[in-house]
Amino acid sequence: MADALQSAWSDVSSQDPVRIAQALDAFRRLLPEALMTEGEGGDAHRSALRGLAYGLDELGREDDAREMYRTLAEVCESALADQGHLDEHRERLLDDRLYARAAEQMVGQGPASSTVVAALDALIAEGEQALGGAHGRVLWLLDRRAQLLTRLNPAEGLHAYDLLIARAAAADERGENHLTALAAKATELSRIDEDEQSALLWGQVLDGRRALLGFDAPSTLDAWWWRARTRYWSGDAAGADADLVLLIPALQRQRGEDDALTLDAMKFRATTLRVLARDGAIADDPLPLVRRIAVLETARFGPGADQVLASRMMAVEVQLDREDREGLWPGLIAEARGIVDDTADRAPGATPALRSRDLLARVLRDARAAHSSPELAASGLAAAIARCAHVDRAIEESTSVEPASRAPGADPDPSPVSPEHLANEIAHAWTDLSRWYAPHSAEALDALRAGADRLRELGAAGRRSEIDVRDDLGSALRDAGHATEALAEFERSLALELSLAAEASTPEDRRTAATRLAQSRYALGATLRGIGRNAEGEAVLADAIEIAQHDGASPQIISEIRAARALALQDLGRSDEAAAEMRALYDASGEVGHAIDLAAVYLRSDRAAEAEALLRPVLARLEAEGSAETAQGSRVIGNLALAACQLGRDAEAAATYDRLYELQSRILGPDHRDTLITLHNRAQEERHLGRYAEAARRFESVLARRTAALGADDPHTLSTLSALAGTVADAGDLPRARELSERVVAETRAVLGETDPQTLRRIRDLDGILARLGDAQQDRDVLADQVRAGFVSAESVTDDGTTSPGLAALRYADHLARQNRYGDALVEYSRARDALSDTAGIDWLRAERGAAECSKRLGAYREAADAYARIVPQLERLLPGDHWALADTLNDQSIVLSHLGLVDAMVPVQQRAIQVADGAGSDPERAVQLRIWLGRRLAEARRFPEALAAYDDAAETGARTIGAEHAVTLDATDDRAETLIALGRHREALKIYRTNIPAMERVLGADSAAVRRARTKQKASAQQASKSRSAITGGVIVAAILVYIIWTRMS
């Protein structure tokens, strides 16, 4: 009896469903024998009941387990009612009763509850009274209480463990109960991912058990096993391997080489060795160990057992980990196919059948990446199709067959198919199939749609995987130009995330849900921005930030959303807000990526000097760290090249692009998309330097390479074709330029649509070439009619499927204004303004500003002044944080008031523009320029004393904020001198010229127009001053002669 019970307990504790099911049968057979031998309540009877309850709980049969624990408790209580038991037997009955009642409360519990804790408190009080506070069962109850408290409140639970440890140590420090208490806390620390602390505690337990029980005692080996794993989980793979090297031989001595725990330890070491190899550490080759595991499992379980198949799969994975896989591919593919063939007798949804097909897919993908060939592509596609068909059979098996009702006492299938696991396989299978087709092709998109539809049919279990597939589908649709469909997929993903978040019950689950929701909103906002719906995208991203911060989402995703929103603000023209947000992110993190994003905002806002000042120290830091020659380093160098270009230093920019191309060719490849961007920009520098023949040659080379690598209709390819047309026009070959420009317009229309901004820009380029040809007015009129027709059709449907004639008119007006057709543009801006007046939002504001600008350009200053007066308060309402938008609008209002001669009205408007610019603080150069413009408008009105005060303010502010020898400060000082001349104060003007002109020569060049003008003014002023001195001298002489004559006559 004792041996049979011990064997059954060994099986029920194995965590092997098959062995647990066998143990339950054994316990059921032993129950009648125990009753006959010892009677109800005897030790054997209670042991069999405990084993049954424990095994049922392990197999997930919670109701049956709870009923069995209740039976055990009642048996103990009945036996305790018999006063004839000895004290020792009574103690064991009390022990089992407390255990049974506690287990009855805890079995099958989901989230921990205060009700269960209260029940345990009552049992602890009973145990302390009956058995004593340091009894093993009382300590076990305290352990379970601490465990539950940790799930409710980690800090409170860990404190409860400390009290448990203190109580056990007080009774017997370093004794078995003390070490068990330490082990309990170590286990819980690992559960809450505090593995480093857990490993330290397990080290104490291990030392104590070695001293107390010996090196090969089962409890000692258990502690050693725990320490090895927690070391690994905490990131100390080397320490874990050092433990496993010694632990595995000890397990082999104690339990045998083919014991389940020994095999688990060997597998864990194989995993540890793989991690060490990936980290570049010197470690043993795991493949011989994995092969040995497979041999042992084959001998124990048979060649077709699940365990053997899993080890064979690990052997393939180990070989895939290797850097040098040259020559391995045929063998690996054959080995992976053999494993798939060996699962043919399994049900479609069995784990080995699904895993083996996933492994074959990975082998084929990696083989294609290493050595692509038509044969391999065909083989991989066929395998992917077969895998999807297999998964479909697994779906059918799981959904079409009603689970058989289980007879009372019958055990479940020991290896049931998890619906969540099946959903994961569906996602992997159809995603893998999509990758065997051409990127963004109809077949690839259809594969992702098929996977998403199957997951949707799977119901709640498929939601998480459906989100992943729909996110992939949305990204693919967006990249393929199907923006509206992409948006629908991301919206579906967000709805699924919201449904999952509503079910989150623990603080940890809610934080995870918050992070995933933030990622989903990020994708949605980025897609809206990518299809030109920038205002909506910015609003979604702003909401995402607020919600994510409130709900405790990951700081990393919040940072990513803030960066995306900053770019959306930039797209909306709110550059100051964008720069401020990016600056805050960079200042908080110091991350190179944030510096690159901030520089991009600066470069798009014509703030190249700030971008350069930001990135030079970043590049120096990367060079010092030895990480400049990386993809991230290349982005820094690329932005520095662009900054040099924008600052007019084209030779330097060309040299920087040469350096960048050499770097990208090594780390990305010569035909990588980013490498080709660099070559395009390098050709553009030749164009800027006026070397048109060389620029055209370079553009033709880039065009050929982009066509080969990306396709003729890729937007990047069309960009190079457009640049080539412009370069040929710059060189004077207008007929060829026209041919190239007409080609790029036709192809851009076909790819991007009639009203895409790139299409319109290229139409304007073609119109300019036709204008230069001089005899193509009819062709220009046809081109204009085509554009107009395109916008008329655009009034029907917008990107989101709704009608919006206002937006169509607005975009057409922008196009006309860029062609300097201000009269036609004014008509369209007015139409757009009227159509959008109901919303009075950002787009309405754009229309109003466009109308005002056209009126100004046409000389209709009164209409322009009225428009700007309406714009300013709306601008403050809609864009309260965009200081420069307000400052620029006030400056435009000041211009038209000046043209109307309303100087008294102009002055406070311009002074407010200056005040707003000073408040922005981000561009002191522009703030000084606004002061200069105030002075010039006053000077034009011949209000020279006020103009002089404005110039004085500009010069003093410039010297303080941007430097005395900054070009703008020198300009202000030069205007100051001219105003002094206008006031007849030539000596003061000449004094300024004596110091300002040499400074202008140093900064602007001796032959610059500004220096020549200043010298001309200086010379004229000197002549005027000389005439004044001559007149004064002549007057003095005449006066002296008259005095002399009068004096002579009087004497």
Number of domains in the chain: 2
CATH code assigned at 928: 1.25.40.10
Could you tell me if residue 953 is left (phi over 0), alpha (psi between -120 and 50 degrees) or otherwise beta? alpha
End-to-end CA distance of the chain: 162
Identify the CA nearest to 811 among candidates 835, 839, 781, 837.
835
Identify the CA nearest to 9 among candidates 30, 29, 23, 28.
23
Average pLDDT in the chain: 87
* pLDDT at residue 414 in the model: 42
222 in any annotated domain: yes
| Among candidate residues 320, 354, 383, the one where a domain is terminated | 320
| Whether 634 contacts 674, CB under 8 Å | yes
245 in any annotated domain: yes
Calpha distance 114→504 (Å, rounded)? 19
Burial degree of 84 (CB within 10 A; 0-12, 13-18, 19+)? exposed
Calpha distance 73→700 (Å, rounded)? 88
Q: Token pair of 959, please?
A: 């010297």
| Among candidate residues 305, 320, 335, the one where a domain is terminated | 320
Residue 843 vs residues 495, 663, 800, 811, 878: alpha-carbon distances, Å: 29, 43, 16, 10, 11
Q: Which residues contact 229 (CB under 8 A, 6 or more apart)?
A: 190, 240, 268
For 102-144, how does the pLDDT look when each residue is reduced to its tens digit (9 = 90+)?
A: 998 888 655 567 888 888 889 989 898 888 888 888 888 898 8
315 in any annotated domain: yes
1041 in any annotated domain: yes
What is 45-114 written as a DSSP string? HHHHHHHHHHHHHHTT-HHHHHHHHHHHHHHHHHHHT-TTS-HHHHHHHHHHHHHHHHHHHHTT--S--H
40 in any annotated domain: no
Beta-carbon count within 10 A of 296 CB: 19
| Among candidate residues 282, 298, 320, the one where a domain is terminated | 320
Range of the domain at 291: 207-320
Calpha distance 645→678 (Å, rounded)? 13
Task: List, run by run, the mean pLDDT of 10-residue segments along the chain (1051 residues).
Answer: 87 85 92 86 90 91 91 90 70 90 80 80 89 87 88 88 90 90 93 93 95 92 96 95 95 91 95 91 92 94 91 94 84 94 89 92 90 88 94 84 43 58 92 89 92 92 93 87 84 92 86 91 86 82 91 90 88 82 90 92 87 94 91 93 92 94 91 92 94 95 92 89 95 93 90 79 88 82 78 53 68 81 84 79 85 90 91 86 87 93 94 92 87 94 94 94 90 94 91 92 86 90 70 58 67 58
Calpha distance 895→743 (Å, rounded)? 42
For 645-688, how does the pLDDT look when each residue is reduced to its tens digit (9 = 90+)?
A: 998 899 999 999 999 999 999 988 898 889 999 999 999 999 99
Identify the CA nearest to 970 among candidates 1005, 937, 941.
1005
1009 in any annotated domain: yes
| Whether 142 contacts 160, CB under 8 Å | yes
- The model carries a pTM of 0.63
986 in any annotated domain: yes
Calpha distance 221→230 (Å, rounded)? 14
Strand (E) or helix (H) holding 745: helix 734-752
Alpha helices by DSSP H, 531-649: 534-551, 555-571, 575-589, 592-604, 608-625, 631-646
Calpha distance 834→979 (Å, rounded)? 45
Beta-carbon count within 10 A of 789 CB: 11
Residue 397 vs residues 341, 448, 860: alpha-carbon distances, Å: 20, 22, 77
| Whether 521 contacts 494, CB under 8 Å | yes
Polymer length in residues for the chain: 1051
993 in any annotated domain: yes
| Whether 745 contacts 768, CB under 8 Å | no
For 306-324, how does the pLDDT look when each residue is reduced to its tens digit (9 = 90+)?
A: 999 999 999 999 999 888 8
